[in-house]
């Protein structure tokens, strides 16, 4: 691509992207009867020859080919050949009038290219280089917007500040038994069920309450040996072995004490409830034979239950063991039950991409029942304040995340950042922004587009130099 073609393509790209801040390139006025278009640059104006090129709105950067009035009833002002409009030049002149004469450092490229000159000059499109004075910072990465464009695009900015990042996670949960509070009653020998108390599944039982009477030949033999040893002259040295055998066979202490008191071998032994709770399983039936290890009863303590909830894996960073949880019941929305996270399970479900948490919930009134559904509300976040900005201030392209810093006077600087926790409409920034920095929250995509175009212009401007290398 030759130089003229490259320049034309570059100019078209700039005009299409709508870069603001100052006039760039030629402004083609739609006036077929007028003279050829003239170049507008931030440099000194040429001699005015009286020819009207176009008309401009006195209240804003709007233009027309014919005389007209704006919304406020003011007449558009004529712009004659040789006249120039440049917001940057006007700002520079205002600063010069306020601060007095300043020492010139150099002239920079008007399009932000990495090219400077010690003397005034023009670029390839005839635009004057902009003077840079002592005390002015290097703003090669700054995007400038004119006051008119700031108003049209509705740019808004807010300061970054230290805040605690937190939000509430809503998820469904299911009530389950606390595995540590379930007890199985089972004989350790083959036995026959002589009698079962009048209890059924769902009944509440108390510790020590009679459950059933079992006859087992092996237990009867062990008890007979125990009685014999107690009655013999050598019981002080040998009775301990018989007692230990009864204990190993699972005979309750109350039954052993009764044999020792009466020295009579009972026909059957009484099995009692080992804890308070609810009978959730009954397998014992009078007259049936139970094999060793077969469960007769299963008793669960419902005073404390578990609530299991599946949460998106993206929420794991803000969860911690001990966090308070609010539980809402579908059939009792008036109740506000509280629990705590006791465990975050160490695996993620492959299909649902969720992680399971276990919540311990006190249930003194028995309102919660196993397998009941409930809504879970978990407070997620951190207790320490972090530098944060509104979520809409961060532009996430997938490969990088940036914010647009508002430097004032229509100057904006894109800044790469690392994001952290999110919550409450805000996102924590781990680096790249300090407290008090103003970040753009609206029209930031437009500013980012102009910044990207500026980088593309710089890359295109470097191509001729690379092509001319030997």
Residue 360, domain CATH = 2.40.30.170
Give CA–CA dist 36/405, Å, rounded: 40
CA distances from 365 to 279, 304, 361 (A): 17, 10, 12
* Final residue before a domain boundary, out of 331, 365, 381: 381
Domain at 438, CATH number: 2.40.420.20
State the Cα angle at 17 between 11 and 18, rounded to 5°.
90
Residue 274 sits in which domain range?
187-293
Contact indicator for 388, 428 with CB cutoff of 8 Å: yes
| Residue 406 CB contacts under 8 Å (≥ 6 apart), including other chains | 155, 157, 412, 438, 439, 440
159 and 172 part of one domain:
no
Residue among 23, 27, 30 nearest 65 (CA): 30
Give CA–CA dist 91/193, Å, rounded: 102
377 and 393 part of one domain:
no
* Final residue before a domain boundary, out of 316, 347, 381: 381
Tokens coding 79 = 């712009």
CA atoms within 13 A on the CB side of 184: 9
Contact indicator for 108, 139 with CB cutoff of 8 Å: no
Tokens coding 6 = 């490259």
Check residue 453 and give its pLDDT. 56
* Final residue before a domain boundary, out of 258, 293, 328: 293
Check residue 101 and give its pLDDT. 66
Q: Give domain status of residue 392, yes or no.
A: yes
Q: Give domain status of residue 229, yes or no.
A: yes
Q: Give domain status of residue 209, yes or no.
A: yes
361 and 375 part of one domain:
yes
Check residue 310 and give its pLDDT. 94
Residue ranges, the chain, pLDDT below 70: 1-50, 60-61, 81-101, 111-115, 134-141, 146, 148-151, 233-240, 444-470
Residue among 350, 352, 347 nearest 312 (CA): 352
Give CA–CA dist 330/335, Å, rounded: 10
425 and 459 part of one domain:
yes
Give CA–CA dist 22/8, Å, rounded: 19
308 and 173 part of one domain:
yes
Token look-up 């606390």 returns 178
Q: What b/e readout covers 169-181, taking b as 16+ CB neighbours within 10 angstroms?
A: bebebebebbeeb
Give CA–CA dist 23/52, Å, rounded: 18
CA distances from 243 to 131, 226, 255, 260, 261 (A): 105, 6, 11, 9, 13
Q: Distance between alpha carbon 29 and the CA centroid of its chain, in Å?
A: 50
Residue among 37, 70, 30 nearest 51 (CA): 37
206 and 272 part of one domain:
yes
207 and 279 part of one domain:
yes
Residue among 468, 133, 125, 175 nearest 309 (CA): 175
284 and 308 part of one domain:
no
Q: Give domain status of residue 106, yes or no.
A: no
320 and 462 part of one domain:
no
227 and 246 part of one domain:
yes
For β-strands 130-133 and 143-144, DSSP reports them as unpaired
Check residue 150 and give its pLDDT. 67
321 and 367 part of one domain:
yes
Give CA–CA dist 191/255, Å, rounded: 16
Q: Give domain status of residue 250, yes or no.
A: yes
Domain at 233, CATH number: 2.40.50.100
Contact indicator for 5, 124 with CB cutoff of 8 Å: no
Q: Give domain status of residue 66, yes or no.
A: no
Number of other residues whose CB lies within 10 A of the CB of residue 242: 21
Strand order in the sheet with 182-185: 182-185, 297-300, 277-282, 204-205
Where is 246: in which H helix or E strand? helix 235-248
Number of other residues whose CB lies within 10 A of the CB of residue 94: 10
333 and 412 part of one domain:
no
Give CA–CA dist 290/184, Å, rounded: 14
| Residue 196 CB contacts under 8 Å (≥ 6 apart), including other chains | 211, 212, 282, 284, 285, 286
Contact indicator for 167, 380 with CB cutoff of 8 Å: yes
Check residue 92 and give its pLDDT. 47
Handedness of CA 125, 129, 130, 132 (dihedral sign): positive
Check residue 377 and give its pLDDT. 92
Structural domains in the chain (count): 3
Map 411-444 to HEC letters: EEEEEECEEEEEECCEEEEEECCCCCCEEEEECH
Check residue 451 and give its pLDDT. 60
Q: Give domain status of residue 19, yes or no.
A: no
Contact indicator for 370, 305 with CB cutoff of 8 Å: yes
Token look-up 């071998």 returns 265
Q: Which ranges constitute the DSSP H helices of 128-170?
A: 147-153
Q: Which ranges constitute the DSSP H helices of 80-192?
A: 87-99, 147-153
Number of other residues whose CB lies within 10 A of the CB of residue 358: 19
Summarize pLDDT for 393-451 with one digit per residue, the tens.
Answer: 888 877 788 888 888 877 788 888 888 888 778 888 988 888 888 988 887 666 666 66
Q: Give domain status of residue 98, yes or no.
A: no
């Amino acid at each position: 691509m030759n130089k003229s073609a490259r320049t034309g393509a570059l100019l078209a790209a700039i005009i299409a992207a709508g870069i603001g801040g100052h006039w760039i390139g030629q402004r083609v006025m739609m006036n077929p009867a007028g003279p050829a278009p003239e170049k507008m640059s931030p440099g000194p104006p040429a001699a005015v020859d009286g020819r009207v090129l176009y008309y401009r709105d006195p209240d804003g950067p709007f233009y027309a080919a014919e005389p007209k009035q704006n919304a406020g009833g003011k007449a558009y002002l004529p712009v004659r050949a040789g006249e120039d409009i440049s917001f940057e030049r006007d700002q520079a002149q205002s600063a010069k009038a306020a601060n007095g004469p300043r020492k010139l450092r150099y002239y920079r490229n008007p399009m932000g290219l990495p090219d400077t000159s010690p003397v005034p000059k023009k670029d390839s499109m005839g635009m004057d280089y902009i003077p840079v004075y002592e005390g002015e910072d290097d703003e090669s990465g700054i995007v400038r917007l004119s006051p008119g464009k700031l108003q049209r695009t509705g740019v808004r900015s807010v300061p970054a500040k230290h805040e605690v990042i937190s939000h509430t996670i809503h998820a469904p949960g299911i009530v389950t038994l606390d595995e540590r509070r379930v007890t199985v009653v089972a004989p350790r020998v083959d036995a026959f069920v002589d009698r079962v108390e009048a209890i059924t599944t769902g009944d509440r039982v108390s510790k020590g309450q009679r459950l059933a009477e079992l006859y087992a030949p092996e237990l009867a033999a062990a008890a007979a040996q125990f009685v014999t040893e107690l009655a013999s002259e050598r019981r002080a040295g040998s009775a301990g072995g018989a007692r230990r055998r009864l204990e190993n066979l699972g005979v309750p202490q109350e039954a052993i004490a009764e044999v020792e008191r009466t020295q009579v071998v009972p026909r059957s032994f009484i099995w009692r409830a080992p804890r308070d709770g609810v009978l959730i399983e009954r397998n014992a039936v009078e007259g049936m034979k139970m094999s060793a290890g077969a469960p007769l009863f299963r008793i669960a303590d419902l005073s404390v239950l578990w609530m299991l909830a599946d949460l998106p894996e993206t929420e794991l960073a803000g969860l911690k063991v001990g966090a308070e949880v609010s539980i809402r019941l579908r059939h009792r929305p008036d109740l506000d039950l509280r629990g705590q996270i006791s465990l975050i399970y160490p695996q993620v479900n492959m299909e649902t991409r969720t992680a399971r948490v276990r919540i311990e919930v006190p249930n003194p009134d028995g309102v919660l029942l196993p397998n009941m559904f409930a809504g879970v509300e978990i407070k997620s976040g951190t207790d320490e304040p972090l530098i944060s900005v509104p979520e809409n201030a961060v532009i996430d392209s997938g490969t990088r995340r940036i914010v647009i810093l508002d430097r004032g006077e229509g100057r904006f600087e894109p800044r790469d950042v690392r994001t952290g926790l999110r919550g409450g409409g805000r996102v924590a920034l781990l680096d790249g922004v300090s407290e008090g920095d103003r970040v753009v929250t609206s029209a930031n995509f437009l500013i980012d587009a102009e910044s990207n175009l500026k980088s593309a212009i710089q890359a295109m401007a470097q191509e001729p130099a690379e092509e001319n290398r030997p």
